[in-house]
A and B are shown apart, each in its own frame.
Chain A
């Protein structure tokens, strides 16, 4: 041939306005046709400087800000912050308060995983499961609404306990939800887990090896899908998690398919925990009296808890005043996003979307 055919790499901006970047993430892709040669995540579009704002507020005022830290699991973020503050001043939460925290935390985990179970198929082109999971999530939202009046940002878990006791109709409603929930999970599995197209799209795609899990500090369900058996609820129990009987679902392949299944099974386990907590819910106080101008002991503390996306840690420095000296919050998504470029090299755009969704990356947690 006299003139050789020549191809050029194409640089494409995926985001910040893109339907499947789960918030405002920008991915600078270098493409060879459809194949990704390089992927560079650009973050910071959703930065709200929550950590800095907390430094100018009292501890009680920080809690609503922590709601916005990661709005899919507001309860858990409240809880992580309160855990740190309580650890600093050795506050013991009353029994009923702990049980209510566990119930709300696990319901919130189910709600968050329901979003995942709905959104991940949507990113693979199946639009319907999204509406199904939101139908179930709605019931959880109703439960939250009847307890604390809010549906997304709850400001429910407070330092020393919880804000309000549950209304009498909460327990029957919650049991009703748990009864139908197992059947609904089977519906999602019927729609997706056995679907050949779903298997083709997800099985063997975006494999995270256990080594990669350690290298990038991947935590939560994404790590457990790779077979890394680490769950803070079991390995470093906080609150009263050592009293409940539940399993940690593990994957073997570390691919998108396993990450999906692990989360689906985690919903089952969370439902088990909620059922046990409802059975043993004691009477009594829901929180200890903590002064409005709460002043923890000076010092620094790191507390962590298992969020639905991974390890949620809060590092809190107190100088003994009414305001925190410094807060640094850590969410799982930040490390997960860092691992994405490593995984997607050589794969296709459609795979990138599937992997991004399967890691359950959410931007507010990264940008804070």
Chain B
């Protein structure tokens, strides 16, 4: 069942109740924002549970089993526990920076969803610079991480913050260039246009078919962007204990934690939209296709995490600048040639 007609029906209902168009727009926009926000919160809770289950099964364990069916309520319980925890601010911390860091990370993680098409017609706002907006807003997360590293006044946190800054500078470049190939073919930065360009041909117009290299580059860079193993250097547990979030406790820690999972969903959603045909698919409603593809991507990222060792900080830089970046340029040249030939 498609969801877009339902929203349209609610909008018509508001109009028929006598609201002016401007007011109805406002109400429906706010309603949509609240809907997306709560959907993501539930998804993040689900993803935490899912990661624990996946890691457990990869490691031949059961994972959480006690709270609810196979431990589905484990994250809810964890969140409740974290809410009750004391919120500690270290005496030597820079209080303002320390307070705002998780807020920025959390907000930026959620703000990216304004332009992501969840299904046919299910988009909060179809900006004409959609993909640029997402790249810009997800980069802001790193400012939050750096603030956390600096504001904590802890050496481990500082190293973690430094690493995250270095990491994002290196990986943002190949990430943008890998998406550039798709923008070149589509001729638009709007997310809806990118999805529409991939429809038809029974899935053979997905960008992954024409640009497999771009997809691989994007996945690698996105893993680094989401701070996942093998690129989880900012919080490398065995080296920096917990990295940038070492001094955070209670709900502030939970905000970092949730933001990490939302970020993971974001990069997977972008991969789905840009490379895997977005919500296009037969039989099932479009939002199911979107969710299914995105969750499959999330699974791949989780699979990475529980299989690979971690790179060292200089190897990470070397890989980004010496391998990924040249490959990204090769991809752009290839896409250019391909586009000319298709014309």
Over the window 48-75 of chain B, the binary record of Cβ atoms lying under 8 Å from chain A Cβ atoms (1 yes, 0 no) is 0000000100111100000000000000
Chain B contact-residue range equals: 20 to 34
Q: Find out whether the CB atom of B60 lies under 8 angstroms from the CB atom of A132.
A: yes
Q: Tell me if B237 counts as interface (CB < 8 A to partner A).
A: yes
A46 within 8 A of partner (CB): no
Q: Which of chain A's residues have a CB closer than 8 A to the CB of B230?
A: 125, 197
Q: Is A122 an interface residue (CB 8 A)?
A: yes
Which chain A residue shows the least CB distance to B240?
Answer: A349
Alpha-carbon distance between A18 and B237 when the two chains are bound, in angstroms: 9
- Closest Cβ–Cβ distance, residue B294 to chain A (whole Å): 24
B309, A195: Cβ atoms under 8 Å? yes
In contact, A18 and B241 (Cβ under 8 angstroms): yes
> Per-position contact with B for A206-249: 1 when CB-CB < 8 Å, else 0?
00000000000000000000000000000000000000000000
- Report if A200-B241 is in contact (Cβ < 8 Å); known contacts: A124-B309, A126-B307, A132-B59: no
Once the chains bind, are B239 and A353 in contact (CB under 8 Å)?
Answer: yes
Bound Cα distance A33, B307 (Å): 29
B233 closest partner in A (C-beta) = A350
What residue in chain B is nearest A202 (Cβ atoms)?
Answer: B309
Asked whether, in the complex, the Cβ of A350 is within 8 Å of the Cβ of B155, the reply is: no
A360 in the interface (beta carbon within 8 A) = no
Given contacts A132-B59, A350-B239, A353-B239, contact A125 B155 (CB under 8 A): no
B146 to chain A, nearest CB (A): 15
- For the complex, what is the distance from the CA of A7 to the CA of B313, rounded to whole Å? 20
Q: Is the CB of B229 within 8 A of A128?
A: no
- Tell yes or no: B191 within 8 A of A by CB: no
Which of B236, B306, B309, B311 has the most A CB atoms < 10 Å from its CB?
Answer: B309
B305-319 interface (Cβ within 8 A of A): 306-315
- A126→B307 CA distance, assembly (Å): 6
* Chain B minimum-CB-distance residue to A357: B238
B159 within 8 A of A: yes
Decide if B59 touches A128 in the complex (CB within 8 Å): yes
- A201-B309 contact, Cβ under 8 Å, with A125-B238, A128-B58: yes
Contact B159 A19 (CB under 8 A): no
Q: Which residues of B contact A121 (CB under 8 A)?
A: 309
Point out the residues of chain A lying under 8 angstroms from B311, CB to CB: 197, 200-201
Q: Beyond A10-B155, A34-B313, A195-B308, is A125–B232 a contact (Cβ under 8 Å)? A: yes
Q: State A33–B310 Cα separation when bound (angstroms).
A: 19
A33 to B241, CA, bound (A): 17
Q: A34, A135, A351: which has the most chain B beta carbons within 10 Å?
A: A34
Contact mask for chain B residues 227-250; partner A; CB cutoff 8 A; 1 contact, 0 none: 001101000111111000000000
A127 close to chain B: CB less than 8 A:
yes
Contact between chains at A123 and B159 (CB < 8 Å): no
Q: Is the CB of A348 within 8 A of B60?
A: no
Known contacts A20-B238, A34-B159; decide if A125 and B309 are in contact (CB<8 Å): yes
Contact A19 B238 (CB under 8 A): yes
Q: Is A198 an interface residue (CB 8 A)?
A: yes
Task: Choose among B59, B232, B237, B239 the residue with the greatest number of A CB atoms under 10 Å from its CB.
Answer: B239
CB within 8 A of B60: which of A10, A131, A350? A131
- Residues from chain B with a CB closer than 8 A to the CB of A20 are 238-239
Residues of A within 8 A of B240 (CB): 349
Residues A351 and B58 in contact in the complex (CB < 8 Å), given A10-B155, A12-B155, A127-B306: no
Interface residues of A (CB under 8 A from B): 10, 12, 18-20, 33-34, 121-128, 131-132, 135, 191-192, 195, 197-198, 200-201, 348-351, 353
22 residue pairs from A and B, CB less than 8 Å apart:
A10-B155, A12-B156, A19-B237, A19-B238, A33-B162, A34-B163, A34-B313, A121-B309, A122-B238, A123-B238, A124-B310, A125-B236, A125-B309, A126-B229, A128-B55, A131-B59, A131-B61, A195-B308, A201-B315, A348-B312, A350-B313, A351-B312
Top 3 nearest A-B pairs (CB, nearest first) are A125-B310, A131-B59, A126-B309
